Each structure stands twice: as structure tokens, then as C-alpha cells.
Amino acid sequence: MLYAAPVITVYCVVLAVILGTCMGSFLNCWAWRIVHGESVAKGRSHCDACGHALAFRDLVPVVSYLASHGKCRYCGKRLGVRHLVAELSTAAVYAAILLKYDISLQTLEYILFASLLLGCAFADLEGYMIPDRFILAGIILRPVFLLLGQEPNSAWINSILGGVCVAGALLLVVLVYEKLRKVEAMGGGDIKLLFVTGLYLGWQLNILCLFLACILGILFGLIANRKKDSQTLFPWGPAITAAAIVTLLVGQPLLEAYMALL
């Protein structure tokens, strides 16, 4: 249906981009409030620096940030570029999922899944934590969509294996490593996040997701510490999120290309 006519394609993609920027702003705000112990249901949006309540003109995704040159209109302090990145990245992800999966129930499921992933990434970047409420929402939503899509038993089994086997194996490795080295190897939130990705991707694609997350985690860490003598800690949640979204979009072709080489 999405590709029935160019005008329909453009119209739907524009809607996805607009929705994505709005949801990116919302998810970023929600993640910030969770990390800083504020209610996500009460209180008006405010400046992170001075706490001044924001007017409607300050809350237009992307436009408000660019119009104010990335600064608060009330205190003049520069806002983090993360606000703009969150809005644009969410918009790009929404559009990419729509173009990949057309107008379908699967598209709705994956947009919700990606939203939860991005919320986890934003919170991890802000305060090195992955909120349990995002994890729980992901766990609840998956069986709902399996039921709505009337998926066969094999899909349920693949979903369970994807979560339990990959996350469980990683947990075992981490526990053994921590026991031997007496140091913390990985946060529990990262393992729980990989459990959720496994529910949606299945065991084969979740292994690919884990592999990509390791590569992206190293790259992100190198970029964060590109300055000499820098020791910035970069959370792994954003790498897992990016890897899961890449796997969602191109994971199956990558997996098939790899299997063809064997």
C-alpha cells in the first residue's frame, strides 16, 4: 500500500518523520526525568539548566532548537546537542522502518520496539542506567503482537530462545568473569536489554545484534575518548540500541549473505 503511488509514499514518510521528531523529543524528556527522579506524568517541560517552564514555542521539535541556536531563551545556557540528535535519529528510524515494512501491523510493532530501545539509549547516555519500565513494556508488548498477528508456535519458540539463550549465555559469561577478576564486567540493564531484543529478533538475529553491539560499542568508546588522556565512560546501551535497529532493518540479508559463504 505504501508504494501504490509516489504521493502516498511521500505523504506517509513525512508523517513518520513528524511523528518521529515528536516522539524523539518525548522519549528524551522522559528518559531525563527518570534519570533525575522527576515524575514523567506531572509537571511542565522545563530547561535542564535553569528549570524555567518552557512555552509552546520552545517545544517544537528540531525547529525550536535551531531557532534558539541551541540555547535556552531564559538563561542563555547552551543546550546539549543530544536534544536535536534524539529528535532527528528517532525520525530517521521511524521513516526507515516504514519504508522497510510498509503499512502493516509489523511496522507498528517495530516502531514501538524501536521507541523503547531509543528511550533506553537516551537514559543510558544521560545517567548510565536502563529503566526497568522500558524493559517491562518491551516484554509485555511482544506477546501481544504475537497474538494479534496469529503467529505460529515456531515464532513463539524463536522469540523465547532469542531472549533466554543469548541473554542467559551472556549473563553466565559475565558472572564467571566477575568471579575470576573481582570486578564488575557489565551492568544488569544491558543484559536485560539484550533479552528484550531477543524477544523481537529471535535467536539468530539476536546473536548478530550482540556481535554488532560489540563492534559499535568499541567504536563509540574510541570516539568518546578520542582526546589524549581522556577516560570517558561510554555506556553500552546506545550500542545495543543501534545494533538492534540495524539488525531490524538489514539483519536478515546480512545473515543470509553470511550463511551463503559457509
CA-to-CA distance for 259 and 262, rounded, in angstroms?
5
Chain centroid to CA 98: 16
Half-sphere exposure (Cβ direction) of 9: Cα atoms closer than 13 Å: 8
pLDDT at 72: 87
pLDDT of residue 231: 65
Residue position matching grid coordinates 543469548: 166
Burial class (CB in 10 A: 0-12, 13-18, 19+), 43: exposed
Complete DSSP assignment for 90-136: HHHHHHHHHHHH-SSHHHHHHHHHHHHHHHHHHHHHHHS---HHHHH
Q: Which of 175, 176, 244, 248 is nearest to 210 (CA)?
A: 244
Gap between the Cα atoms of 223 and 69, Å rounded: 25
E-only strand ranges, the chain: none
Per-residue model confidence as pLDDT tens digits over 7-55: 999 999 999 999 999 999 999 999 999 998 888 878 788 888 888 888 8
The whole-number pLDDT of residue 53 equals: 86
* pLDDT on residue 106: 95
Handedness of CA 217, 193, 118, 35 (dihedral sign): negative
Weakly modelled stretches of the chain, pLDDT under 50: none
Phi and psi angles of residue 226, each rounded to the nearest 5 degrees, phi first: -70, -25
Predicted confidence at residue 227, as pLDDT, reads 64
CA atoms lying within 13 Å on the CB side of residue 186: 21
